[in-house]
Amino acid sequence: MTVARPRPRQLAGRPELYTSYAQHLRLLNTTPKRRAVLALAVVAFALPFVYDDQTLRLLTLGFAAAIGAIGLNIVTGYAGQVTLGHAFFLAIGAYTAAALSGDPDGRTIGFGVSNVAVWLLAAGLVAAFFGVLVAPLATRLRGLYLAIVTLGLVFLGEHVFKEWEELTGGPGVGREGPVPVLFGNQLNAPGDMFTGEQKLYLLTLVLLVVFAVLARNLARSKVGRAFAAIRDRDVAASVIGVSLTHYKVLAFAASSFYAGCAGAMLYTITGFIEPGSFNLLLSVQYIAMVLIGGVGTVSGSIMGAMFITLLPRVTRELPGFAPFVSSDASAPLNVFQIETVLYGLLIIGFLLFEPRGLYGVWIRLRNYWKSWPFSY
Amino acid sequence: MTAAPSDDAAILEFDDVRLSFAGVKAIDGVSFHVGARELFAIIGPNGAGKTSIFNVLSGVYRPRRGRVRFDGRDLIGMRPHRIAALGLARTFQNIELFANLTVLDNLMLGRHTHIRYGALSAFAWLGRARNAELAHRAVVEDIVDFLELEQWREHPVRLLPYGIQKRVELGRALAADPKLLLLDEPVAGMNLEETEDMARFILDIRDELDLPMIMVEHDMGIVMDLADRIMAMDFGRAIATGAPAEVQNHPDVIRAYLGEEEAAS
Ligand SMILES: Nc1ncnc2c1ncn2[C@@H]1O[C@H](COP(=O)(O)OP(=O)(O)OP(=O)(O)O)[C@@H](O)[C@H]1O
Ligand SMILES: [Mg+2]
């Protein structure tokens, strides 16, 4: 079969008229999209030279969380398998990376392999391995049942992490996060040109871009279509030739790989891992990122993750404006309570009014400006 | 078993199959075969077991006993996606499209078993995956032309009129390049114009693609016009099999249909 592949050109004044399949299949298939992404990239790479280290750290955490949110969106948003086990896979990644890169003579397990490329890949692969082990559950259970059983995974993990002190340092003690070294350069310590925060920011941003592009590729491929088919109608999917087992395993593997890498990066940025942090609340936060950002979209996952990560920063300013809100966790009305309530309200609000999440809000804004004043 | 007129080897042999649900005998010892170029129709009142036969064929139900041979392979016990890969495609009585996906994506899913690249190529989207997508997209565009779906290509199927959805589902089955096509009530619920369009497409498929088909249908006009042979069923049993005129005038068939009308009145 021969497929004509002329260099795609857009017709003047008709930005959405595609002239070839190749163009239609491209990620950034229109000039406005390309320009917007380019502008965003320029801003993102310029930020570390504008903001202070503390803000950079927060943004970097947001990027790492975004990698994890994209991962959750692969299995839950694209493939429709609702899981509450995401915190478990984040933990696997964090501990794999920390153990590999840790000091061999330290208090906790360490192998001294501090090359980022090595421990990041290992974190992803070990988490993916556990994902593959868990996936068969999804071939037997659906919907809420799967969610409940994957929740069991989080409890199991919490218990093991608390008990296994050689690895985790134990509750209340914890251990150091992964040690990042790239090309002989210690990334979490200040260097000649950049601060540690700037270096980690740039590394995490590059990783996020790579992971986002890979996920978009997956979504537009036969794999992404098979995921959507399983999500929408699994019997019909199998009758047209989609192996449910194969694709559910694949979805869990890919999702956990992302979670593993995200976990490794998150605790590189914070520098410290407390075994009690991989709990249900963490899983729920990721669900919130996906729901608020946009189910089944990569850009939505990023928006949701940034939103949830930056939210506490905003609420913690509250006592300044509203004196009756306390920043002390034991006070009757404190910022932590407000945060929790806000998560809940936001999830309910988005589910009711904009199920497409922030992504949907963005599409609406875009369409509004596109037809303004009436360009058609 | 007598050979179908003008046909050589059978593409499908369905032999003494029995299937029951909690005491209901959905298929009660039915046997038939379909010739390599035949349009075989199955008729019968509601609940006769017609759809159950399709579900056995595509591996959704596993019969208690019997044998099903398709293109030289035994189907019973095989998983649905394996059967699809052997070249059996179908449509459903109640449309089973992927509602949130576009017409194009639904058709591309129909080609799923032919698109051969792995997950790693999918992530990378270099050469292999991209070229495969382009090549299969071209095949799918031919189906879009064939079924006159051009104007709907980019629409999510849930927004399409019922008759068009039926047509998209036919397209999804055709996209699989099947060796045998199963149509479960292709014109049910359609108006006259939509029915005529669908009948025309079925004729075209037969003439241009030379594709054997099994069609379950209540519309006797369509069945009489299109079918080479007909099997009439009632209460899970085959009560008559043969040329359209024979089956139509078979006393048991008349009784089954009259019985249904009496029960309804
Ligand atoms: N999944 C199931 N569970 C229980 N009973 C079933 C199931 N599927 C079919 N049946 C029963 O098997 C019998 C045959 O059903 P089937 O759907 O094959 O009939 P049909 O000939 O396709 O009827 P219709 O013309 O109404 O589509 C019916 O009595 C039906 O209730
Ligand atoms: Mg039926």
Q: What is the predicted pLDDT for the residue at A18?
A: 56
In the structure, which protein residues have their CB atom closer than 6 angstroms to any atom of ligand 1? B 21, 24, 26, 44, 46-52, 93
If one compares A331 and B243, the residue with the highest pLDDT of the two is B243
pLDDT digits (tens, 9 = 90+) for A75-99: 999 999 989 999 999 999 999 999 9
Q: pLDDT at residue A14 above 60?
A: no
Nearest alpha-carbon partner for A20 in A12, A28, A29: A29
If one compares A333 and A118, the residue with the highest pLDDT of the two is A118
Domain boundaries, chain B: 9-87+179-265, 100-177
Q: What is the largest CA-CA distance in chain B?
A: 65
Q: Does any domain span residue A42?
A: no
Mutate to test the pocket of ligand 1, among B51, B91, B182, B234 (most ligand atoms within 8 A of CB): B51
CATH number of B9-87+179-265: 3.40.50.300
B259 pLDDT band, cuts 50/70/90, is: low
Q: Which of B90, B109, B124 comes nearest A229 by C-beta?
A: B109
Q: Does any domain span residue A31?
A: no
Q: What is the predicted pLDDT for the residue at B6?
A: 44
If one compares B60 and B126, the residue with the highest pLDDT of the two is B60
Q: Does any domain span residue A21?
A: no
Q: Which of B60, B113, B133 comes nearest A241 by C-beta?
A: B113
Nearest alpha-carbon partner for A300 in A259, A340, A358, A241: A358
- What type of residue sits at position B63? P
Q: Does any domain span residue A43?
A: no
pLDDT digits (tens, 9 = 90+) for B106-137: 999 999 999 998 888 888 888 888 888 888 99
Q: Does any domain span residue A109?
A: yes
Q: Decide if A240 contacts B80 (C-beta within 8 A).
A: no
What would the two tokens of residue B17 be? Answer: 């199959």
Which residues, chain by chain, have CB under 5 Å from ion ligand 2?
Answer: B 51, 93
Q: What is the predicted pLDDT for the residue at A13?
A: 46
Q: Whose CA is nearest to atom 2 of ligand 1?
A: B21
Distance CA B18, CA B29 (A): 5
Residues in chain A within 8 Å Cβ distance of B60? 235, 239
**Mean pLDDT, to the nearest integer, of A289-295?**
89
What would the two tokens of residue A113 be? Answer: 């392999």
Q: Which of A5, A22, A233 comes nearest B98 by C-beta?
A: A233
CATH of the domain at A109: 1.10.3470
Asked if B97's CB is within 8 angstroms of A221's CB, the reply is: no
Domain that holds residue A205: 49-371
Asked if A217's CB is within 8 angstroms of B124's CB, the reply is: yes
- Least confident span in A318-332, B73-87, B120-134: A318-332
Distance CA A97, CA A350 (A): 35
Asked if A240's CB is within 8 angstroms of B172's CB, the reply is: yes
Q: Decide if A358 contacts A293 (C-beta within 8 A).
A: yes
B90 close to A (CB below 8 A): yes
**A199, HSE (Cβ side, Cα atoms, 13 Å):** 18
Radius of gyration of the CA atoms of chain B, in A: 19
pTM of structure: 0.88
B64 close to A (CB below 8 A): no
How many angstroms is it from B32 CA to the middle of ligand 1? Answer: 19
Q: pLDDT at residue A12 above 50?
A: no
Residues in chain B within 8 Å Cβ distance of A237? 98, 109
The number of domains in chain A is 1
Residues in chain A within 8 Å Cβ distance of B110? 240
Residues in chain A within 8 Å Cβ distance of B89? 240
Q: pLDDT at residue A7 above 50?
A: no
